[in-house]
Structure 1
Amino acid sequence: MQTTLEILTHPLLSGVKHGFFTRKGGASSGLFAGLNCGRRSSDQTDMVVVNRMRVATAMGVSPAALATVKQVHSADVVTLDQDDDIARTRDIQADGIVTARRGVALAVLTADCQPILLADARAGVIGACHAGWRGALAGVIEATVAAMRALGATDIKAVIGPTISQRAYEVGEDFMDDFLMEDPDYHRFFSGGPNGRPMFDLPSFGLSRLRAEGVEAEWSGHCTYSDPQRFFSYRRATHEGQADYGRLISAIAL
């Protein structure tokens, strides 16, 4: 079994320790083969624990200092203060987490949704958010940026990690209508697909929301759906009739 982790990084976040982990190098098998870090998946619990330990080690923190939240596709964000119990944050329903605390790694789990890592290295403030279409439309990106600024961040840079790309994201007319009701200009994130249905550009939508907040941002360019050897994908698993799917992890630390 391959045990070498594959960790994608981006020069925009070179001032902080960070990584978008692929599925390579994990202990899980079967549908979850590789680095499945989803505690709420049906994978063996001990395998998920091993995988998260490997991530923590790669990030230079203890397993207990790998901070995640219970993701629910919301716009809610948790601020991890100096004395907060990291273990308790794992049961808080939210989709963003920020801190100025050292010795911890903030992490989010995804399987097509956008993992966004953010940092103001000079101010010593970092953030991570899980931004699928629902959370992004609801404002989780803006809420994460606001929470970082409340901690003193002024020059935030952000990278969107592996996520589903437009060429793989066919949606319905009602989906598109939800966006156009919010802002008719959002039509620019949709194009016609091969089946006559709209194709949604999730990473471009995420970039637009970040840049509108004055954040310098880039997308890594990796499509989760199109690369099964490296990435888990909820949509691909659904199309293949799989009973469950693995969760990728993305983490950042000061």
Structure 2
Amino acid sequence: MQLIIPDWPGLPPNIGAFATLRGGGASQGPYDDGNGGGGLNLGSHVGDLLPTVESNRAQLDVLLPASPLWLAQVHGHHVVDAGAAVAGVEADAAIATRAGVVCAIQTADCLPVLFADMNGAVVGAAHAGWRGLQGGVLQNTVARMRAAGAGPIAAWLGAAIGPERFEVGADVLAAFADAAPAGQARQQAEACFAPIAQRPGKYLADIYQLARLALREADVQNVYGGGLCTVSDRNFYSYRRDHVTGRMASLIWLK
């Protein structure tokens, strides 16, 4: 199994976290590792054989204190307590305050964001596509963690569609610009969109920078990760590149 271990300076020793890549499982066809080998597709909703997905998830469970809470992600901004919610709940973020409860986010171009209370009492994970970002999923996750007693919070940005590949329309730019306060904040939001010279009305969006702006708004000062492009690198699943594809997971828990 291929994993990314977040480079997260100062992470408390009672917090575990990693993100999966595409390879190392049993999935075949469009859900494979990109080279004809088995893929570690963890999404049960993408057309892969359910027994295969269950096998991949069982392989993942060996590395975890418990099976993760798998959310039904809807590109929204609802946050749940992973220790109290049931599998399949519609939400795009989760927090955990008890040891052994695993928060998990599935992605294949959207941005996974992991959160850690640097006092080691609360963790969280959020699924941040552009709709969730614009709707405040990151701010909501931070607020839920603080309500649960978190102190200083750090965030790690996982692999997502990169700023050279994320083509969007003027409606997406307008959604972020209109949601920002007038003045510098609006200018900063607009600066995350680069016009495409040969395609009027089309822009390249920087989802990483949009996330950093949202985290700054939530007063999260320590932000790590970013810069890995799921579309350009075939070690990752990418819906934008392949359309029919698997899902990776980013996970965090208290030990």
User: In the alignment, which of 62, 65, 75 is matched to residue 61 of structure 1?
Assistant: 65
Letter aligned with residue 231 of structure 2:
Y
How far off its partner does 1:178 sit? 2.0
User: In the alignment, which of 165, 190, 195 is matched to residue 193 of structure 2?
Assistant: 190
* Structure 1 unmatched ranges of 5 or more: 239-243
Indicate yes or no: 2:144 matched with 1:141.
no
Q: 1:37 to 1:139 in 2, by over 3 A?
A: same
Q: What is residue 10 of structure 1 aligned with on the other side?
A: 7
How far off its partner does 1:38 sit? 0.4
Superposition RMSD on alpha carbons, in Å? Answer: 1.6
* Structure 2 unmatched ranges of 5 or more: 33-38, 181-185
1: CA distance, partners of 2:197 / 2:249: 31
1: CA distance, partners of 2:124 / 2:9: 14
Letter aligned with residue 253 of structure 2:
A
Q: What is residue 121 of structure 2 aligned with on the other side?
A: 124
1: CA distance, partners of 2:54 / 2:10: 27
2: CA distance, partners of 1:108 / 1:51: 15
1:103-252 paired onto structure 2 within 5 Å = 103-183=100-180, 184-185=186-187, 186-193=189-196, 195-196=198-199, 197-215=202-220, 216-228=222-234, 230-238=235-243, 244-252=244-252
2: CA distance, partners of 1:195 / 1:169: 15
Letter aligned with residue 61 of structure 1:
P
Residues 19-57 of structure 1 deviation map (CA, whole Å, 9 limit, x = unaligned): 111112111111001111001110011111111122222
Q: Where in structure 1 do 4 or more consecutive aligned residues deviate above 4 Å?
A: none
- Of all paired residues, the percent bearing the same amino acid is 35
How far off its partner does 1:146 sit? 0.7
Given that 1:12 and 1:158 are in contact with CA atoms closer than 8 Å, whether structure 2 keeps it comes out as no
How far off its partner does 1:182 sit? 1.8
Q: TM-score with structure 2 length normalisation? A: 0.88
Q: What is residue 73 of structure 1 aligned with on the other side?
A: 75
Residues 46-101 of structure 1 deviation map (CA, whole Å, 9 limit, x = unaligned): 1111111222222x323xx31121100111000134xx3x6x2x221110100111
Q: TM-score with structure 1 length normalisation? A: 0.88
Given that 2:107 and 2:248 are in contact with CA atoms closer than 8 Å, whether structure 1 keeps it comes out as yes
Residues 2-27 of structure 1 deviation map (CA, whole Å, 9 limit, x = unaligned): xx333332224733210111112111
Given that 1:123 and 1:152 are in contact with CA atoms closer than 8 Å, whether structure 2 keeps it comes out as no
Residues 131-184 of structure 1 deviation map (CA, whole Å, 9 limit, x = unaligned): 100001001101100111111101111101000111001111222222222233
Given that 1:6 and 1:25 are in contact with CA atoms closer than 8 Å, whether structure 2 keeps it comes out as no
Look up the SS of the partner of 2:104 in the other structure. strand
Q: 1:220 to 1:56 in 2, by over 3 A?
A: farther
Look up the SS of the partner of 1:168 in the other structure. coil
Letter aligned with residue 68 of structure 1:
W
More helix per residue: 1
Alignment size in residue pairs: 237
1: CA distance, partners of 2:253 / 2:112: 15
